[in-house]
């Protein structure tokens, strides 16, 4: 089922999603984004939150499955005025120009 969303529509809350250290560590390894506060349990225990935290790209990436849970999207749905396929050639061109 595809849901047509409009500006101002209210969505129901998604289910609770617990993010464990294994998930945080896997993203850090994948993206090479491994700040101490996310991956070093001992150091993070003495930090401002008292534990490791999920941040940045992990938090952002989890928005997609949670949004799809409350507003199922069909194959024609998009959040952007362009597709990811449109971005790839631009990224490659930027790399070539810089290189």
pLDDT tens digits, one per residue of 55-92: 778 888 888 788 778 876 666 665 555 555 555 555 44
Determine the Cα–Cα distance for residues 21 and 30; give it in Å rounded to an integer.
14
Tokens of 24: 């945080």
* Predicted pLDDT at 44: 94
Whether 25 is covered by a domain: the verdict is yes
Average pLDDT value for residue range 44-63 = 88
Whether 7 is covered by a domain: the verdict is no
Asked if residue 89 lies in contact with residue 83, where contact means CB atoms within 8 angstroms, the answer is: no
Determine the Cα–Cα distance for residues 27 and 20; give it in Å rounded to an integer.
11
Whether 66 is covered by a domain: the verdict is yes
Whether 16 is covered by a domain: the verdict is no
Whether 46 is covered by a domain: the verdict is yes
Determine the Cα–Cα distance for residues 65 and 3; give it in Å rounded to an integer.
15
Whether 28 is covered by a domain: the verdict is yes
Which residues are CB-contacts of 80 (< 8 A; sequence separation ≥ 6)?
none
Tell if the pTM clears 0.75, that is, is over it.
no
Q: What are phi and psi of 59, to 5 degrees?
A: -60, -45
């Amino acid at each position: 089922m595809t849901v047509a969303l409009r500006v101002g529509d209210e969505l129901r809350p998604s289910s609770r999603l617990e993010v464990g250290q294994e998930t945080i560590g896997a993203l850090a390894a994948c993206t090479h984004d491994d700040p101490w506060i996310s991956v070093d349990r001992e150091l993070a225990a003495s930090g401002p939150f008292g534990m490791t935290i999920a941040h940045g790209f992990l938090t952002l990436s989890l928005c997609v499955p949670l949004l799809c849970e409350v507003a199922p999207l069909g194959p024609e749905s998009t959040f952007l005025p362009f597709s990811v396929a449109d971005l790839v050639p631009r990224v490659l061109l930027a790399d070539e120009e810089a290189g």
